[in-house]
Amino acid sequence: MPSYFISHGGGPWPWVPQMRARMQTLETALAAMPGALPEPPKAVLMVSGHWETQTPRVMHAARPPMIYDYHGFPAHTYEIRYQAPGAPALAERTAQLIAAAGIEVTLDDTRGYDHGTFAPMQVMYPQPDMPLYQLSIGTDYDPRRHVDLGRALAPLRDEGVLIVGSGLSYHNLRLMGPEAREPSAAFDAWLNAALQLPPAERVQAMLDWETAPAARICHPQEDHLVPLFVALGAAEEDPATRTYHETTMMGTITASNFRFG
């Protein structure tokens, strides 16, 4: 399996017609992902920027609940049910791999699907029958630790698990209008170029991401960039392909998705 980093869009956008109309390019890219895989995955492991813990936690429930981690949306979006089954056995396997890499890890039986998971999955797998589980990111956002976490997950790719880092290549909620156009374009151009570098050089580029053009304007808090480090670590020797790119996401933002392998 390849691994992916995706820009998951805003809140519960697939259930809000006005938002969905503005995200048709993203929707097309996400919907195409299953057909681009070498075979149907056994499960999807989503590394969402909306689940932060001090040390890694792996969703372990057989039927995870829902988490509505957004505000100000229509009432019906707080009743969404994306009822995909969990993957407890694969969660245990995932925790074993992480622990074998010397990283403290915990199985979590109570965590539910957040919108960084259920929103893109609604587009990728509208029939919620694909086993699905999540892995948290660290509250320290440390790039090296998250690349190492991805490296620990790499064997899952050969075991049929699709690893998806779910965030946004631009995430500054205080700068979403016309002022976002130039910094998002500059950072996106750097990101695409950096991910085309040879493996060791692109890992180093990601470790040094704060030196990129407009880096801290685009990511004043890098929770939505960190899933990229995990996806890259899981496939660090594989080439990167940009699978989604537009300059008018939410009107003015340049955003991208990437596939590794």
Residue 129 contacts residue 172 (beta carbons within 8 Å) = no
Rounded mean pLDDT of the chain?
96
What pLDDT band is residue 122 in, cutting at 50, 70 and 90? very high
State pLDDT tens for residues 53-65.
999 999 999 999 9
Whole-angstrom Cα distance, residue 47 to residue 165? 5
Q: CB burial class (10 A; 0-12, 13-18, 19+) of residue 227?
A: buried
Architecture in CATH for domain 3-260: 3-Layer(aba) Sandwich (3.40)
- Give SS3 for 251: coil
Q: What percent of the chain has pLDDT over 70?
A: 100
What pLDDT band is residue 71 in, cutting at 50, 70 and 90? very high
What pLDDT band is residue 173 in, cutting at 50, 70 and 90? confident
